[in-house]
Structure 1
């Protein structure tokens, strides 16, 4: 079993965790999170739906519809990990799934929308857990804007691993990672869309980022994984390959 990343001090570890309780909204940073067979507990558990049953996202597809007001929302679990709250741009907070939330979001979106929990249609784009290395974020940042590393929230990444080589995570495809008490099987590189550059809560737009990802790494950054063995992941956990 080999370690797969480095934070520069020789210690190989998870440096950030985040989940998105309502799909496409701002991230909730976590220091520790439970992982079940579906993925990080609560991640994309809710989504904003339009009247036709499509989910608010940054792109158009069979399941998703581009609805940019969703990027202005924050979502987070309360301390008991039971209730999801949403904060609107005016500072109002509402409970996901409540009539008040649906009413206020409908006014913000300019059309009828509802916030619903996942049912038969998955809220994930593809893989249930997304992983990216810090060297990948730094490499992308060198080729766009002022050179700042790309914030992992732009990639909607769940697990950020300290790495020394850009795109090191591509080599993990087909392998298993042990991350804290969790085992993940890495499935495939993640093909990116306009979401990597859009402005969202506390993040300015990075308008050239999608082109940078395309030009530098064939439109892919980070990897999808599925859960092999559930457990708990925490910031600071060592990451092992194999």
Structure 2
């Protein structure tokens, strides 16, 4: 019994910067390969996040730390550097899933009080014609050969967070199945 389909995959190589769309991704214990591998750091050593520096979201990473740092510095108007991220930032989940239906609800202004409708920066975009991912907390899902354990709703209220129960490969077009 399919709950839906994977219709988009994105990784965010530099935390806070624009995503890179993929047709297929390897999912390891820490999440999608290539996701949030580095962070923007200011001269004081402080890691900058999207909410600290909204201009980050418009920077498309090239894969070159020097070029990416220069692009971020140009947007922010101050010197920065990129540093590799080791481990997952506090409060971050391995995988973020969101449905087209949740994005449609948010675009129509249907979000719970206190929730944001801005870009959820999700890894997996799903089409769930007859389901709602907010009901999945505690469930295991198979997407391609990967199995995810849905753990919680994100603070910004769009989609769900999941941990990786079984590493594997996810491809656009894969069904979302109970595991």
Q: Which runs of 5+ in 2 are unaligned?
A: 111-116
Could you say which residue in structure 2 is the equivalent of 1:225? 162
The structure 2 residue matched to 1:182, chosen from 133, 146, 167, is 146
Cα distance in 1 for partners of 2:169, 2:68 equals 31
The verdict on how the C-alpha distance between 1:103 and 1:17 changes in structure 2, with shifts beyond 3 A counting, is closer
Matches of residues 1-242 of structure 1 in structure 2 within 5 Å?
2-5=1-4, 13-59=5-51, 66-76=52-62, 84=63, 95-96=64-65, 98=66, 101-102=68-69, 105-119=72-86, 122-123=88-89, 125-143=91-109, 154-165=119-130, 168-192=132-156, 220-242=157-179
The verdict on how the C-alpha distance between 1:108 and 1:239 changes in structure 2, with shifts beyond 3 A counting, is closer
Q: Which runs of 5+ in 1 are unaligned?
A: 6-12, 60-65, 77-83, 85-94, 145-150, 193-219
Deviations 1:98-120 (A, max 9, x none): 3x654564354233311111125
Cα distance in 2 for partners of 1:164, 1:31 equals 21
TM-score (norm 1): 0.65
RMSD: 2.3
- SS of residue matched to 1:106: helix
Deviations 1:30-80 (A, max 9, x none): 001111111000101111111233222233xxxxxx01331231025xxxx
Cα distance in 1 for partners of 2:92, 2:86 equals 16
Cα distance in 2 for partners of 1:46, 1:222 equals 24
- SS of residue matched to 1:156: coil
Cα distance in 2 for partners of 1:126, 1:119 equals 13
Cα distance in 2 for partners of 1:234, 1:46 equals 24
Contact persistence 1:176–1:185 (CA under 8 A): yes
Runs of 4+ off more than 6 Å: none
